[in-house]
A = this chain, B = another copy of it.
Amino acid sequence: MIKVGIIGSTGYAGQEIVRLLLGHKQVEIVWFGSRSYINQKYYQVYQNMFQLVDAICLDDNMEELANQVDVIFTATPQGLCASLVNEEILKKVKIIDLSADFRIKDVGTYEEWYQLEHQSPQFIEEAVYGLCEINREQIKGARLIANPGCYPTCSTLSIYPLLKEGIIDGNTVIIDAKSGTSGAGRGAKVDNLYCEVNENIKAYGVASHRHTPEIEEQLSYAAGYPIHINFTPHLVPMNRGILVTAYASLKKDVSYEEVKAVYDSYYENERFVRVLDKDVCPQTRWVEGSNFVDVNFKIDPRTNRIVMMGAMDNLVKGAAGQAVQNMNLLFGFPETEGLVMAPVFP
Contact = CB atoms under 8 A, between A and B. Distances in A.
Contact of A198 (B19, B44, B194): B194
Given A199-B238, A280-B47, A282-B202, A189 B186 contact: no
Nearest to A299: B207
Chain copies in the assembled complex: 4
A138 B258 CA distance: 49
A89 interface: no
A206 B245 CA distance: 10
A169 to B, nearest CB: 12
A237 B239 contact: no
Nearest to A216: B302
Contact of A207 (B46, B188, B204, B300): B300
Contacts of A230: 247, 300, 303, 305, 307
A289 to B, nearest CB: 5
A59 interface: no
Interface string A246-276: 0100000000000000000000000000101
Given A234-B178, A243-B203, A274-B51, A285 B188 contact: no
Contacts of A343: 48
A281 B206 contact: yes
A116 interface: no
A188 B193 contact: yes
A234 B237 CA distance: 13
A326 to B, nearest CB: 21
A76 interface: no
Given A197-B194, A276-B47, A346-B182, A284 B340 contact: no
A289 B49 CA distance: 13
A99 interface: no
Kindly state the interface size class of chain A when it binds its partner. 35 or more
B15 A281 contact: no
A234 B236 CA distance: 11
A140 interface: no
A239 B196 CA distance: 9
A8 interface: no
A307 B206 CA distance: 8
Nearest to A279: B206
Contacts of A287: 48
A241 B188 contact: no
Contacts of A288: 48, 199
Contacts of A241: 199-201
A270 to B, nearest CB: 10
A103 interface: no
A298 interface: yes
Contacts of A305: 174, 230
A85 interface: no
Contact of A344 (B186, B207, B302, B344): B344
A234 B344 CA distance: 22
